Amino acid sequence: MAVFLGCHVGYANSLNHARSGGIAVHRYDRYVLSQYLLFFGFFALILVTVFWINRAVGLFDQLIGDGQSAMVFLEFTALILPTLIRTVMPISVFGAVAYVTNRLSRESEMTVMQAVGSSSWRLARPAFALGLVAALMMAILTNVLRPASLAQLDLREAEVAQNVTARLLKEGSFMHPDENVTFYIRQIDPDGTLRDLYLSDRRDPAREVIYNSAEAYLVRSGDRASLVMVDGIAQQLNRNTRTMSVTQFADFSYDISSMMSGSDGSGTNLRALPTLDLIFRADDYIGTDGITEGRLVEELHQRFAWATICLAVAMVAYSTLTLGSYSRFGLWPQALGGFVFLIMLEVLRGAVSSPVLKNADLWPLLYVPTLIGLALSGVFMTLAGRPVRILLAGIGLARLPEEAADAGAT
């Protein structure tokens, strides 16, 4: 009995501290924030892994099929990680806030805090703190890490596209640098001589040409690349007349420049430009490589809009779950409603980009989804603190149950 009374007194003291904004409330904030951060990291890890695997499959087929090494494949997949993290971070913030808030409600922890006088606004501090942390991380990601990774990715893609040896020279294997071109090289000597070359060119629907040569050499001249074949034959099949002609040659030059097409890295990629360049050197880029003022301004402000939306998503996830009353089955209907609002914000974010691309002066539209999300959160938390019936009674449009009972008694 004494133990029970002691626990009861201790619990009552904790509630008194919570009521007055004392140590217990701050401890509650730290506890909830730690849970938010834990599940934010968990959801981000899961989603990034799923997106990364999906993207890596395509990269693997492309790079390994072109003769690149596994290290090149790992480098490319690492360089796309900042973009993948940017994509999944708002979803991870929403998932963490919704899951933890639902669990706190199901286990009555939020109910106890509300019973001792903590309002929905007061209990929103951990969610707001998570939104600020995610916004800071997103700002670093979109303004520093992602542009740097895209710049390096463009550079490496240009190097790979121009690497003839990696794309064509692989002995003992059939290679397909183009959909309708097939290469086979039996042996590559240390001095670069290609032995026993087979080349099938089916790009012209009217004719197919097969080249065989005892030796061949790769020759580069500026941006052009040629395959010089020595001591060979060319078999040409005319599909229209269904006739074949065979030509012997001592040497023959075959242009393979079209097979080496790809980004040469000479164009300007807005996404890869540092944020400071977009701010202070905008005039240097506008009008070059098809860059308009609208495109540049949209790219610049999108980097900050991505950060602010994290704060709005965190607050929307929390506020929608505060609308529900206690249920041992949790607040999953409210969580589903919050997810619908999240989709609406994402759709709106995509819709506001088009006007800015046409008119750079409309850049404030990019922050409208964030403002709408924060406004919705404020409305939801106000409704959670003062239900609709009380609000309507305050403006004379409804009666409270006590007032209705008194009116009936009179």
Look at residue 330 in the predicted model and tell me its pLDDT.
57
| Confidence class for position 87, pLDDT limits 50, 70, 90 | very high
Look at residue 324 in the predicted model and tell me its pLDDT.
63
| Confidence class for position 391, pLDDT limits 50, 70, 90 | very low
| Confidence class for position 19, pLDDT limits 50, 70, 90 | very low
The 10s digit of each residue's pLDDT in 269-309 is 888 899 998 899 888 888 887 788 999 999 999 999 999 99
The 10s digit of each residue's pLDDT in 338-376 is 888 889 988 998 899 999 999 999 999 999 999 999 999
| Token couple for 228 | 């010089």
| Token couple for 193 | 């001589």
pLDDT at 397 over 50: no
Q: What is the share, in percent, of the chain residues with pLDDT greater than 90?
A: 34
pLDDT at 9 over 70: no
Mean pLDDT over 199-207 rounds to 88
Report the alpha-carbon distance of residue 110 to residue 106 in Å, rounded. Answer: 8
| Confidence class for position 141, pLDDT limits 50, 70, 90 | very high
| Token couple for 306 | 């991505």
DSSP letters spanning 276-288: HHHHHSHHHHTTS
pLDDT at 393 over 50: no
| Confidence class for position 108, pLDDT limits 50, 70, 90 | confident
What phi and psi, each to the nearest 5 degrees, are found at residue 169?
-95, 95
pLDDT at 225 over 80: no
| Confidence class for position 139, pLDDT limits 50, 70, 90 | very high
370 closest CA partner among 300, 292, 289, 308:
308
Q: How buried is 184 (Cβ within 10 angstroms: 0-12 exposed, 13-18 middle, 19+ buried)? A: middle
What phi and psi, each to the nearest 5 degrees, are found at residue 231?
55, 75
Q: How far apart are the first and last CA of the chain?
A: 48
pTM of the model: 0.68
| Confidence class for position 33, pLDDT limits 50, 70, 90 | very high
Report the alpha-carbon distance of residue 283 to residue 360 in Å, rounded. Answer: 14
Sheet of 224-238, strands arranged across: 174-178, 181-188, 194-201, 207-221, 224-238, 243-255
Look at residue 282 in the predicted model and tell me its pLDDT.
85
Decide: 131 and 315 in contact? Cβ < 8 Å.
yes
pLDDT at 24 over 60: no
Decide: 183 and 192 in contact? Cβ < 8 Å.
no
